[in-house]
Every structure is written in C-alpha cells, then in structure tokens.
Structure 1
Amino acid sequence: MRFKKDMDFVHLSKYFFIFSIVITVMGVIFLGFMGLNYSVDFKAGSNVDVSLSKNITQDQLQPALSGLGLSHEPNITIGDKRVNIRYDEELDNEQSAALKTAITKLDDKASFEVNTVDPEMAKELARNAIYSVLLSSLGIIVYVSIRFEWRFAVAAIVALLHDAFMVVAIFSIFRLEVDLTFIVAVLTIIGYSINDTIVIFDRIRENLRFGKQKSYEDLKALVNKSVSQTLMRSLYTAFTVFIAAFFLLILGGESIKMFSLAMVIGLLFGAYSSIFIASPLWLLLKKRQKVAVKNNPAKA
C-alpha cells in the first residue's frame, strides 16, 4: 500500500472530525436517555456458568430453570458443552441449590460457577472503572506535557478520550452489553491510542527542529510530512492488533466476546484518531500561538 507523499492529511481531517462529531452527538443522546446496557458485573444479579459433559438444547434447559420463584426470565447463552445463565436478581442459597439440582438431572457431570453481585459492589465497580480511565488520562497529560509541550498533551488526551468514547457510544447505540472485560478493552485501546499519537508527535517535534515555520501553511506542510513519514508504521501496528482481536471475536469464547468486540471497534476508531484528530488539533493550537505572537511580538 502506497500513499502520496504530498497527501493533505490536514484537509482530509475535517471529514473525520464531522464523522466523529456525529457519533459523539448520537452517543451523548443515547447515553442520556438509555444509558449503557450493563451486565451483571455492574448491577445486582447472579451469573451462572455451567460446564457440561454433553451438549443440551434450550428446550431441555428451560424446564429446569422454571420454578425458582424469580420475577424475571434469565438470559441464556448456550455454547459447546457450556451454558451461561444470567439473572437480574440475586439467587439465594435455596434457589442456587435448586438450579444445580435441576441441571444435574440433565447432566450428572455438570460443574457450576455462580457469581453474585450486590448493588453496592456494582456501584463501586462502576466508580472504579471511571477513576481508572481518569487517572490514566491524568498520567498521560503529565508525561506528554513534560516530554513535549502542553499543546501536544491536550491534543493527545482529546484523541485518547475520542477513542474511548467512540467505543462507549457504539455500545450504547447498539445496546451491546458492558461487562468488566469491556473496561479492560477500553484501557487497552487507550494504550494503543497514545502510543500511535506519541510516535507522530515525536516526528513532528523532530521536524520542527530542522526548519523555520513562519506561517500556518508551513506548519500544515510539516504536519502532513510528519504523518506521511509515520503513517505506514501506525497502520501496520493497528492492523496486526486488529487481526488478532478480530479472530478472538470470531473464534473466542463467550466470556471474551465483548472484550474482543470493544477492541475491534476501538482499533478502527484509533486507526484514524492519531492522524486525523490529534495532529490537526495540535496544528490548530499551534496556529493560535502563531497568531498571538504575530499580534504581540513581546510574547515570542
């Protein structure tokens, strides 16, 4: 794959800005009115994983699940010699024992793993997930500000939060289930996002040392040149991770499905955020500095 060395990435960025803004607005609307579709990891309820010695059908399983005295029907996922049953209510000891007894009648070699989350624990998990993202963002701001300058830090954080929020927005719009592995995926995406962004910013900084940029057009040409020099590295890195995440999504188990899906979505958005979001945003901030210096030479 080859790209023209004189490709105007800054000009193309406006289309990606528009696309991201549309997704962001839709995400905010859906989050405001519908929120996220939390799994039992983030709300009170019980999750039952059953390992079987043979495959069973939902018709065989349904009678075994009735008669537990619960007001809501469980969400059932049947795989190869495996069943996952999710309840929006907490199972007490008697209900859990009755469920195990009923399924054991279908397969006497069945083994069970029952996880229950109470409301307070669910709230704490949600808070800790938000804190982890905020703390990681704060650390990145400090690091980039020290190594580069504050304009790079601002642009990097916007790109980072863009990638994370795009994943959250897509999960909210399509009502995809959010579990603990989703949080792991978002933090992983943040790591890949900041890595690609730093690579491009480092090249921009190097190119700034070897030339004088007297106008906005000079800065624009520098950004386009820097992106062009690092583009294939960024795309190859994103593509190799994307392939791994994609096949995990297709061939992986049910327990990592949301993690793999979040990674696939995040990598797609992250593939362009460093190029078409972070770099043009730095250029915009730098342009404002040039204008301020031009209007007030004493600041130079």
Structure 2
Amino acid sequence: MSRMADFGNDLYTGKRSIDFVGKAKTWYAISAVIMLIALAGFGVRGLNLGLEFEGGSEFRVSTTQTSGDYQQEATDAVREVAGPAASANVTLIGGNQVRVQTEKLPETEMNDVGSQLAQTFGVQASDVTQNTIGASWGASVSKQALRALVVFLVITAALMAVYYRNWKMSLAAMVALAHDMLITVGIYTWSGFEVSPATVIGFLTVLGYSLYDTVVVFDKVRENTSDAFETRRQTFAESANLAVNQTLVRSINTTVIAVLPIIAVLAIGFARVGPGTLLDLSLALFVGMVVGAFSSVYIATPLLVHLRRSDADVVELDKVASRHHERVGDRTPATVGAPAAGASDAPSSPLRSSSGTTPARGDGAEARVTPSPDADAEQTVTGRAVHRYAQSGPRNQPRRTPRSKR
C-alpha cells in the first residue's frame, strides 16, 4: 500500500512521469482499431434489441422447479402452436420464473401457447402471464432517448466552452464522449447482450460519468497550463502531461470504487436474479465506466494538446520554455566547479584550499573543516558561502571577498 502511495506521490510531484501526451499517436492507434472493430460489429451482427424495441409477445411461467432443458422445452411448446419455424428467446429469472419471448402472435395463438407452456412445466394456467408489446412503444422510447442525448451534448458543450473559456477543451471532451459511446455500444454488438430501455439509461449515465472524469482532469490541465504561461518554464504539452500524471491515481481510485459495487450486482444478477432491469443497467455502467476512464486519461488531454499546438500563445510558450530548457541543460555537472579562465590550480586564497575546506591552523589545533556548498561561489575565510548579491561590489566595482575581522 505504501508503494502505491509513493508511486502516486512521485507522479504528482513530477519525480516520476508517464508520457501520455508524447505517445498520443500510440493511444490514437489503439482507440482507432477498437472503434473500427466496434463499427464492424454493427454490420456483422447488429444490436440485439429487446422486445420493447422490436415488439412481440412475452410469456412468464411461475414455477417452483425447472429441469436442465427448460429452454428447449419452452421452445418446443411454442413451436407446437406457432409452427416449427417459430423462434423463442427463453431465459430464467430469479430461479423460479421462465420468460419466453416470441415474435408478435395473434391473440388465439397466444392463448394456446400459454396453455401449452402451463402443461409443459406442470403449473396452472393462471401461473402463466402473457403480454404483447408493440414496436411503436420502442420507437417512441428510442426517439426520446436520442432527443435527450442531443440536448445533453449541446448544453454540455456550451457550458464547457464558457467554463474553460476555450472551445477546444469542449471539443476534446465531446470527442472523448463519442469515443466512449461508440466502443460501449460496439461491445454490445459483438457480445450479443440485449439492449433494453434500462440499457439505454445506462448509456446516458455513462456519458455523465465519463464527462465528470474528463472535467476533473481538465481542471488540473488548466491550472498547470496557467502556471506555465506565467513562469515560462514548461511547454504546454509538458504541463498538460503533468496534470494527467497528477490525476492518474485519483482517476484509478474513483473508477475502482465506482465499479466494485457494479461488479457485485453483476455477479448476483448472473448467478441468481437473471436477466432484468438491474442486470441491464449495471452491465452498461460497467462497460462504459471502464471505457470512460481510459478516454479521460489517454484520449482527452492528448487531443487537447494536439488541437492547441498551433495557437499563437502556445507556440510562443513552447519557444520560451525550450530556450529555458537549453540554458538549464548547458549547466552540466562537468562544468560545475571548474576553474575560471586564466586561473591556476593554486587556491584562490591562502586560507582556502582547492577542495573548498579551511586548512589547519598554524598552532597545531585541529581545524574545523567545512565543506563548500558550491564550488563556483565565493567564500569567506571561515568557509561560508557568500551570497550572490554580495559577490559584486556597488556600481560594478571589483569583487571583494569579505575577510574575517578576527
């Protein structure tokens, strides 16, 4: 645990750094491949839309016990009435209820299917409930969800542009949201998970979580870049990368804490409860939160740096910071402490040795040896370093090393 704390502290102080911004092309390539696979899923398999979106008939059989072949038994019961070409989606809910979904059946066939299911599972006809859902209801839900999504994106983009006073930050956040949504839905296409109204609610919730995580990172980016514009010691990319490192541990902790209860719900849902609203919602949240945490760290900030690299103020900052790095880089350890031009190897003062220590006194007493903090700095006869403002006399007079009055 202490190692994790030390690792997070090193990231925050800059002692250790992960180059998220510098390796932006790598993250872009990884995301592009994943998004292409997600898009291919729409053409190859498509979404497994639930009964609420496609319409159809649903039967629920309340039974105290089920055999291992309950799915085949329910399918055979449906085909005995609707014909051998009929298909049925059979799932077990809560261990004591069998749900059978079919295409939309006429009322007479629905009654016959209900009776056949009751006979197959050995229950009363009253223990079998039946319901018909039209496709118009699903179309209405889809239309309202799409409208809510558009309104959400427009308002969010406008608020972020006003809050950060920079539309490019808003654009980077919107691209990250689109990235999260595409990958999340793509996972649903390839996995075959059913898309229900609860799943759509989960998708919208994922957008809010992803945006929240991105805003936290962007707040730190704005703080660091503002300091960089004042001090002129870091480039825009360096200050933004430092912000991502400083918020990395926080993003990981937040995601883990948010995902842990969802994992518990998923485990209970798959093991005991079965398909339902709770499972659909938690599954969408789990997939979306993991993808959202990835985009907040690896996509949003590198994209922001890429969008702002041609801004006049950023270009000027990078030039000044680069010159500062060159000046600092010229002060290599080999030049520190080297004698000045024309100086001999002899000590600069009879009372100061070349090693920067005070020699022993002539009376034989043991001298106090004081190491020099800086070999380039002037020192008094006692071995103390002279302040840099005291190394030059007034009005550019020759430097004079203070001497001891003893």
Residue number in structure 2 paired with 1:179: 196
Alignment of 1:202-221 (within 5 A): 202-212=219-229, 218-221=235-238
SS of the aligned residue for 1:274 comes to helix
Alignment of 1:74-223 (within 5 A): 74-79=88-93, 80-87=95-102, 89-105=103-119, 106-108=122-124, 111-148=127-164, 149-212=166-229, 218-223=235-240
Q: Note closer, same or farther for the CA distance 1:160–1:291 as it changes in structure 2 (3 Å cut).
A: same
Structure 1, residues 9-44: CA drift from partner, whole Å, max 9, x if none? 213443322111011112223324543221212112
- Counterpart check, 1:41 vs 2:52: yes
* Paired AA for residue 8 in structure 1: D
* Paired AA for residue 83 in structure 1: V
Q: How many residues align?
A: 293
Q: Note closer, same or farther for the CA distance 1:60–1:40 as it changes in structure 2 (3 Å cut).
A: closer
Alignment of 1:271-290 (within 5 A): 271-290=293-312
Residue number in structure 2 paired with 1:298: none
- Counterpart check, 1:228 vs 2:245: yes
Shift of residue 115, structure 1, vs aligned partner: 4.0
SS of the aligned residue for 2:29 comes to helix
Shift of residue 104, structure 1, vs aligned partner: 3.4
Shift of residue 185, structure 1, vs aligned partner: 1.3
Q: Contact 1:75/1:85 (CA < 8 Å) preserved in 2?
A: yes
**How far apart are the structure 2 equivalents of 1:223 and 1:283?**
7
Structure with higher Rg: it is 2
Q: Note closer, same or farther for the CA distance 1:76–1:26 as it changes in structure 2 (3 Å cut).
A: same
Greater fraction of residues in helix: 1
Residue number in structure 1 paired with 2:78: 65
Q: Note closer, same or farther for the CA distance 1:259–1:15 as it changes in structure 2 (3 Å cut).
A: farther
SS of the aligned residue for 1:210 comes to helix
Q: Contact 2:60/2:97 (CA < 8 Å) preserved in 1?
A: yes
SS of the aligned residue for 1:73 comes to coil
- Counterpart check, 1:7 vs 2:22: no
**How far apart are the structure 2 equivalents of 1:34 and 1:61?**
25
**How far apart are the structure 2 equivalents of 1:73 and 1:212?**
65
**How far apart are the structure 1 equivalents of 2:58 and 2:31?**
35
Shift of residue 111, structure 1, vs aligned partner: 4.0
Shift of residue 53, structure 1, vs aligned partner: 3.3
Q: 1:259 aligns with which of 271, 274, 281?
A: 281
Shift of residue 216, structure 1, vs aligned partner: 11
Shift of residue 193, structure 1, vs aligned partner: 0.1
**How far apart are the structure 1 equivalents of 2:283 and 2:28?**
23
**How far apart are the structure 2 equivalents of 1:216 and 1:174?**
49
Structure 1, residues 218-245: CA drift from partner, whole Å, max 9, x if none? 1111112211222222111111121122
SS of the aligned residue for 1:288 comes to coil
* Paired AA for residue 84 in structure 1: R
Structure 1, residues 236-260: CA drift from partner, whole Å, max 9, x if none? 1111121122222221131133333
Larger mean Cα displacement after TM superposition, 211-220 or 187-196: 211-220
Shift of residue 48, structure 1, vs aligned partner: 2.8
SS of the aligned residue for 1:67 comes to helix
TM-score (norm 2): 0.65
| Structure 2 residue runs without a partner (length 5+) | 12-16, 317-406
SS of the aligned residue for 1:9 comes to coil
SS of the aligned residue for 1:10 comes to coil
SS of the aligned residue for 1:48 comes to strand
Q: Contact 1:26/1:173 (CA < 8 Å) preserved in 2?
A: no
**How far apart are the structure 2 equivalents of 1:136 and 1:167?**
18
RMSD value, Cα:
2.6
* Paired AA for residue 148 in structure 2: S
**How far apart are the structure 1 equivalents of 2:80 and 2:229?**
78
**How far apart are the structure 1 equivalents of 2:202 and 2:233?**
38
TM-score (norm 1): 0.86
**How far apart are the structure 1 equivalents of 2:233 and 2:210?**
26
Structure 1, residues 175-227: CA drift from partner, whole Å, max 9, x if none? 33222222111111111100000111111122233231798961111112211
Q: Contact 1:52/1:107 (CA < 8 Å) preserved in 2?
A: yes
SS of the aligned residue for 1:49 comes to strand
